[in-house]
Amino acid sequence: MTANGRAMIHLEGVTKVFYTDEVETHALATIQLEIKKGEYVSIAGPSGCGKSTLLSLLGLLDSPTDGKYWLDGKQVADLSLSDRARIRNLQIGFIFQSFNLIGDLTVFENVELPLTYRGMKAADRRQRANDALERVGMAHRARHLPSQLSGGQQQRVAVARAVAGSPLILLADEPTGNLDSKSGEAVMELLRELHRGGATLCMVTHDPRYARHADRTIHLFDGRIVEESAATAAS
Amino acid sequence: MDAILQDLRYGLRMLLKNPGFAAVAVLALALGIGANTAIFSVVNAVLLRPLPFPDPDRLTMVVSVNPAKGFPKFPASPPDFIDWRAQSRVFEEMAAVDGAPYNLSEGTEPERLNGSRVSASFLGVVGVKPVLGRDFLPEEDREGAEPVVLIGHGLWTRRFGSDPGIVGRTIALNGKRRTVVGVLPQGYTFPNRSEVWTPIAFDHDELSGRGAHYLHVFARLKPGTTLEAAQVEMDTIAERLRKQYPDSNTGWGTLVSPLSEMMVGKIRPALMVLLGAVCFVLLIACANVANLLLARATERQKEVAIRLALGAGRLRLVRQLLTESAILGLLGGLGGLVLALWGTDLLVAAGGDNLPRFREVSVDGRVLLFTLGLSLVTGLFFGVVPALQASRPDLNETLKEGGRGGTSGPGRHRLRSALAIGEIALALVLLVGAGLMFRSFQRLLSVDPGFRPDHLLTLDVALPETKYPDGARQTVFLRQALERLGALPGVVSAAAATTVPLAGGVISYSFSIDGQPEQPPSNRSSARYDAVGGDFFRAMGIGILRGRGLLDSDVAGGPRVAVISSGMAHKYFPGENPIGRLIRIDNDHERAPREIVGIVADVKHSSLDGEAAPHVYEPLAQAPSTWLTFVLRATVEPMSLATAARQAVLAIDREQPVSEMKTGEALVSDSVTQPRLAMILLSVFAAVALLLAAVGTYGVVAYSVSQRTHEFGVRMALGAGRREVLGLVVRQGLVLAAAGVVLGLLVAAGATRLLAGLLFGISPTDPITYGLVAVILTFVALLACVVPARRATLVDPMTALRCE
Ligand SMILES: Nc1ncnc2c1ncn2[C@@H]1O[C@H](COP(=O)(O)OP(=O)(O)OP(=O)(O)O)[C@@H](O)[C@H]1O
Ligand SMILES: [Mg+2]
């Protein structure tokens, strides 16, 4: 079994076990998964089933206990810490449930942050960050601090930060979990728009309303993929 | 009361709950308070504690001054003293003192004793009474009076087994039997650390020599008389004497100054600098503990919130928190006291013999009170800001930040950062001070004293005039001693002199040079003077620059000769050749002309940091002396010759003790006791300050790293690598260091001006010292960031993002 040339993400037999105080938690068991370029995949399942764990494996925040992982055709399961940091920086965009903007940096600086880790020139960074803020409609708040924004606005800034570096794939973990339904809807619309523009998107969500928008939904239960369903109302 | 007990109990429990925190805080405070207590106990003994005499405020010294000749404080001559005493009305008593060593030849081993010849009124002036027997009678300081002596308590116990029958017995001092009339109180040795006091009687010669200044005059003011009034009266008397004796007294005035000032005035600036230094150390320690408390206040926000919710008033809460810091302060004070007890022992050992009143240094009630007060004030000082902060948890802000998912950065730790910056700045000031003192001391030690101190042994012999009444007998002793000492194995050459450099003794005489305009005695220039015997210049390693040294062939009755120092040649024979010229020295009445036969190198006679004064030497054979210091140039370790040298002297005269055996190197190093001690102390304090500042910086950075875990997690998720995270932490440390260093440099530039008087050969703004210290401090601050920075790189982004 080799990596599919067109698969952006290919997991094979991936398991994740956490060892804490003599307790073994089998968070993920023999996961097989493929996500193609330009696909919009949502991950669903009850609390504690391993959704976030899967997402952080995909985002190289953590490495699997066992199994193989090809990202864009390259084996990435056993890379060093610094190589993983590099790939995260260049190829992955994160959107978190709790936004995770850095409180002491302005909106603009937050968006620019991943670009600075690439050693990009200041002028290029400014250009890209401004474009990204433009895209999420937050350019006018560039000089503000995160604490001066509403939750929905903060999440839009977080999206801008995720897309500013033109990653291969966007990973979002319940991006609307901390938002009221109106702001949540706006953020989801933003992600749909990015998907329409060609972005590959993998999103954890509890909300079936949002899962509908995805091309495909993966259902997890107790660390296993129990069902894959094609979207009922793909855009 | 009940509430206070409860506060205490609770405070102790909180400290025990967090023993690591408590230990670090108490240790920091102990260092700060200990340093303060140690230095304060010195200041207390030397500057604050009144002299151990009744009514010490009324004790003064009266000195001669001659600004034109550069004598700001000079001893008095006997006739001047007699006139002062007869004419002044402001003093209850006035007494003259002349230091006089005595050879005690009782029993087996002869012993040299420090002694003083004093006016009969002397004990009345200082207000001391004998514990046994009586004081001198007024008639006992006249010529021809019965020879009597007062002895010290130490000598009485040591040599006479505390025999109460000593009063009325006679003892042999300098070969003359004197009747003991009294024993002075235990511990009393004033002045000159004396063990025997004899009445001073002036003979006809002494009473006619107004130019011979050698008396130390002590006087007790009448009750209610001010120093100013005394000065006014003494000015009038001096004016009268100038008119009456223009030959000898032109240019001479008098100065009345408090005895305490005369004794310790010179050491005061150094003590003040040290007091300032320990104050800085304590401030740094306080900043450290305040920082720890602030960090804990954040951790305890929840506890505080619950207490507030349960209805505790803010005041009650602040009191609770202050009780805790007071407990810390007191524990620190206790630790400090232990450190200080140990430290003062070291200080007394280091400075006891060479610094005034250091023997009196002890931890007394006042020091204890000082420490207690300092501990409490310190506790309040470092505790009050954290307590106020903690008692006002801004729940609103906290909730908002949490709710918005923001992360807290350095902004919230502005106060803590400010404290760390302050610590670094203060440490820098101390380091600069210590650095300057160190470099100054190095320069002092690298001064060429003009003689070779290595492989040199010096020993004092004071011949009793009763046994060696004339020059002939003194010269015989000298010749025999030089022969025997010179023949000792390991001795290259033996010589003798009236005084040797850096030993404390200085003789000066006025002189005139034939062929230069003759001046009245009071206008004559004066020079340092020594009579020397044997091959003195070779033994001392003093170079002969021109002509010859003084030889064994320069004997009594032969042509009178003298040798002068190079500085004297330049000053008094500019552009001329002094060799062959005649010089007359005012040490004898004939003022016989001596032919200058040689020029020798300059010697730093009184101190390494002073200028080498003009110096004239003549042969002991032609100007014999009963006060002799022998110098032995050795091929072996000089102190190993001590016993043999003592025996060589005893072989000539069984009753002749030797004293003050010292190596040349000890002469040099004892002469810099004060700057050395100041340098060492300042260095120790600076090291403590550096350590505390490093711990403080570490604390701030480590705490901030722990608070920024989440932020680091986010950054790492966005692709920040090890280097970026390290950079973030190190940058924070660098910002603290840079701010502290800049602030410190500014403060140091001002503060070290106070140090100027203590520095030798280096400017208080010496750029090399400042630069080096800035580099060292920055380096140490960075070092303090290493551990937290490493911890930051080990943050697991997963975990960090999960627990928010
Ligand atoms: N670092 C860890 N150490 C130990 N156990 C962990 C760790 N991370 C996750 N787990 C465990 O792994 C399992 C899966 O957790 P995960 O966070 O992936 O669940 P989830 O599906 O995202 O749940 P939710 O919907 O509540 O966010 C849980 O049982 C969790 O307790
Ligand atoms: Mg989750």
Q: Note whether B554 and B618 are same-domain residues.
A: yes
Question: Per-residue pLDDT averaged across A174-203, rounded?
Answer: 89
Render B751-801 in DSSP notation, one character per residue: HGGGGGGG-SSS-TT-HHHHHHHHHHHHHHHHHHHHHHHHHHHT--HHHHH
Same domain, B427 and B469: no
Is B252 domain-assigned? no
Structure token pair of residue A96: 């978190």
User: Does B199 map to a domain?
Assistant: yes
pLDDT at position B409 is 41
Evaluate whether residue B586 is within a structural domain.
yes
Q: Would the CB of A25 count as within 6 Å of ligand 1? A: yes
Q: What are the φ and ψ backbone dihedral angles of B121, each rounded to 5 degrees?
A: -80, 0
CB contact, 8 Å: B803 with chain A? no
Q: Is A48 in the pocket of ligand 1 (CB under 6 A)?
A: yes
Residues 6+ apart with CB under 8 A from A37: A6, A7, A8, A168, A200
Residues of chain B where predicted confidence (pLDDT) is lower than 50: 395-412, 804
Last residue of a domain, one of B601, B627, B655: B655
Which ligand lies nearest to the CA atom of residue A218 in the structure?
1
Which of A59, A100, A103 has the CB atom closest to B401's CB atom? Answer: A103
Asked which of B607, B622, B655 is the last residue of a domain, the reply is B655
Domain residue limits at B593: 464-655
Tell me the two tokens of residue B702.
Answer: 């480590």
Measured CA to CA, the distance from residue B344 to residue B346 in angstroms comes to 5
Q: Hey, where are the domains in chain A?
A: 37-60+79-230
Query: Which of A17, A52, A65 best tests ligand 1's pocket when mutated (most atoms within 8 Å of CB)?
Result: A52
- Establish if B24 belongs to a structural domain: yes
Q: Which ligand is nearest to the CA of A220?
A: 1
**β-sheet bridge partners, residue B584:** B512, B593
Q: How sure is the predictor about A232, in pLDDT bands with cuts at 50, 70 and 90?
A: low
With 0-12 / 13-18 / 19 or more C-beta atoms within 10 angstroms meaning exposed / middle / buried, residue B363 is: buried
Ligand nearest to the CA of A65: 1
Residues B646 and B690 occupy one common structural domain = no
Cβ(A97) – ligand 1 distance below 6 Å: no
Give the residue with greater pLDDT, B683 vs A208. B683
HSE at residue B799, side-chain half, CA atoms within 13 A, is 8
What is residue B448's three-state secondary structure?
coil
Looking at the fold, whether B724 and B736 belong to one and the same domain comes out as yes
CA distance B253 to A213: 108
> Is residue A49 within 6 Å of ligand 1 at its C-beta?
yes
For residue B399, the chain A residues in CB contact (below 8 A) are: none
Ligand 1 atom 2: the closest Cα is on which residue? A18
Give the model's pLDDT for residue B6.
82
Please indicate, yes or no, if residue B773 is contained in any of the structural domains.
yes
Q: Could you tell me if residue B113 is inside a domain?
A: yes
Judgement on whether residues B560 and B650 belong to the same structural domain of the protein:
yes
Tell me how close the Cα of B397 comes to any Cα of chain A, in angstroms: 10
Tell whether B407 lies on the interface with A, counting CB pairs under 8 A.
Answer: yes
A 10 A CB-CB count for B150 gives: 28
B714·A103 Cβ contact <8 A: no
The helix/strand count (H/E) of chain A reads as 7, 10
Percent of chain A with pLDDT over 70: 95
- Same domain? For B471 and B611 the reply is yes
Same domain? B61 vs B47 = no
Nearest chain B residue (CA) to A88: B719
Asked if A179 has any chain B CB less than 8 Å from its own CB, the reply is no
Residue ranges of E strands in B604-695 = 615-619, 627-634, 659-663
Residues B638 and B748 grouped into a single domain? no
In chain A, what are the helix, strand and coil shares in percent, each to the nearest 5? 35, 30, 35
Which of B400, B710, B719 has the CB atom closest to A89's CB atom?
B719
Q: Tokens for A149?
A: 């924004």
Whether residues B80 and B16 fall in one domain: no
User: Which B residues, 195 through 254, put their C-beta within 8 Å of a C-beta on chain A?
Assistant: none
- Cβ(A79)–Cβ(A70) under 8 Å? no
A232 lines ligand 1 (CB under 6 A): no
Within a 13 Å sphere around the CA of A75, how many CA atoms are in the beta-carbon half?
Answer: 8
Summarize pLDDT for A132-158 with one digit per residue, the tens: 999 899 999 999 999 899 989 999 999
Among the bound ligands, the one closest to the CA of A31:
1
Give the total number of structural domains in chain B: 4
pLDDT at A178 over 90: no
Report which ligand 1 atom has the smallest distance to the Cα of A223. 14
Q: Does B1 touch chain A (CB under 8 A)?
A: no
Tell me how far the alpha carbon of residue A204 lies from the centroid of ligand 2, in angstroms.
Answer: 8
State which H helix or E strand residue B96 sits in.
Answer: strand B91-99
Instruction: Check if the interface score ipTM surpasses 0.90.
Output: no
Task: State whether B145 and B190 are in the same domain.
Answer: yes
Question: Which tokens hold the place of B238?
Answer: 């001096």
| Residue A48 pLDDT exceeds 60 | yes
Kindly determine whether residue A82 and residue B721, on different chains, have CB atoms separated by under 8 Å. yes
The reply to whether residue B409 touches residue A102, judged by beta carbons under 8 angstroms, is yes
- Cα separation of the two ends of chain A: 32
**Ligand 1 midpoint to CA A82 (Å):** 25
Question: What are the tens digits of pLDDT across the range B42-63?
Answer: 888 888 888 888 899 999 999 9
Contact A141/B at CB under 8 A: no
- Which of B404, B709, B712, B731 is the best substitution to test chain A (most A C-beta atoms within 10 A)? B404
Q: At what angle do helices B673-707 and B19-43 cross, to 10 degrees?
A: 160
Q: Which atom of ligand 1 is nearest to the CA of A49?
A: 21
The CATH T-level fold of domain A37-60+79-230 is: Rossmann fold (3.40.50)
The CA distance from B505 to B438, in Å, is 28
Put simply, the answer to whether B407 touches A81 (Cβ < 8 Å) is no
Alpha helices in chain A (DSSP H): 51-58, 81-91, 107-116, 122-136, 151-164, 181-196, 208-211
Q: What tokens does A76 get?
A: 């990435």
Distance between Cα A97 and ligand 1 center (Å): 15
User: Looking at the structure, do residues B613 and B577 belong to the same domain, yes or no?
Assistant: yes
Give me the sign of the Cα torsion angle B384, B390, B394, B397. Answer: positive
On the 0-12 / 13-18 / 19+ scale of CB atoms within 10 A, B218 is buried
**Inside any domain, residue B578:** yes
Q: Are B614 and B489 part of one and the same domain? A: yes
